[in-house]
Amino acid sequence: MTYFLRKGSNTLAIKTIPQLSFANRVVIVTGAGRGIGRAHALELAKRGAKVVVNDPGFSKEGEPEGSSPADAVVAEITKSNGAAIADHGDVASMNDVAALVDQALSRWGRIDAVVNNAGNVRRSAFTETDAEDLLSQVRTHVLGSLQLCRTVWPHMLAAGYGRIVLTTSQVGMYGQPNLAAYGAAKGGVIGLLQGMKIAALDTGIRVNGIAPFAVTRAAPPAFPSSLKGWMGGEQVSAAVVYLAHHSCTSHGEVFIAGGGHFAVARMVESRGIEFDRPEDVTAEGFVARIGEITDMNDWLTPTNALAAAEPTFVHLRSLFA
């Protein structure tokens, strides 16, 4: 397809992008029975992927509802001559995750990509949020993603190839009223991604994140339902298809996607300051230089935690050399 790259009314360039095909590729999509996950599964299948549609049929709060919508998505895919199988397991259960991966390998003999989309959301005022609210969401978002990724990891290492997409949220970055526990779980996904991106270096595995917003059953009430045509899950899938594709060169990134909007979010820190004398390191010294400490004009994006501390190590070595 040909795309015109524009800035304002000016055409800057013309780019022709070949269709991203998933022929002979096997993709697991969790939480794929409804909403955004369903959109991912349908789009990947349309592009030739063999899709494992995972969904236990839980409510948006994470409670069993007694049936799974995964079968309906599989029926929709197979009706269009696509290839898909249903899995009704809970990603928070290690036994269910093992069965999910075994089913994919038994049926198709490989796993090329995993889209960790399964999630739940419990809304409550912070003062009413309890341990179970937090643990329920951490189990699904963080533990579920960890267990599935760890289970497919050896197979991807053996193949020297893999694509993993984790689903986080802007709520985990910036917060939102009545969603403190949900934000904590989604923030945990970002931490998981940072660790996985380092583990994946030089393996052929690429790990990225998506922070979607769309009008779904789990969307906040403030989302305008009148814009559903522009805020459906398929708008998010446009980015996920790339991140799950063999042509993807991104690694360790978190992409924002929704309503035709795409951006990248990165963890950054100010360059900060260094004190030269231990006796100056006081609360008053900190306050005196707070403006310099919080100055973001020359921000940094460290590659890992040790790299973030290295400038201070260098400075201290220079003082005591």
* Active site amino acids: 182
Q: How far apart are CA 106 and CA 102, in angstroms?
A: 6
Structure tokens at 36: 């955004």
Distances from the Cα of 70 to the Cαs of 15, 25, 55, 87, 203, in angstroms?
Answer: 37, 20, 5, 7, 32
In the chain, what is the straight-line distance between the N-terminal and C-terminal CA atoms, in Å? 60
Distances from the Cα of 11 to the Cαs of 5, 38, 263, in angstroms?
Answer: 6, 35, 21
User: What are the residues whose beta carbons fall under 8 Å from the beta carbon of 6, sequence distance 6 or more?
Assistant: 12
Which sign does the torsion angle of CA 51, 57, 58, 60 carry?
positive
What percent helix, strand, coil does the chain show, rounded to 5? 45, 20, 40
Q: In the beta sheet, which residues pair with residue 86? A: 53
> 114: closest CA among 167, 76, 78, 77?
167
Structure tokens at 201: 């270096």
| DSSP line for 108-177 | HS---EEEE---------GGG--HHHHHHHHIIIIIHHHHHHHHHHHHHHHHT-EEEEEE--THHHH--T
User: What are the residues whose beta carbons fall under 8 Å from the beta carbon of 25, sequence distance 6 or more?
Assistant: 48, 49, 50, 112, 113, 246
Q: How far apart are CA 110 and CA 228, in angstroms?
A: 36
For residue 261, what is the enclosing H or E element? strand 261-265
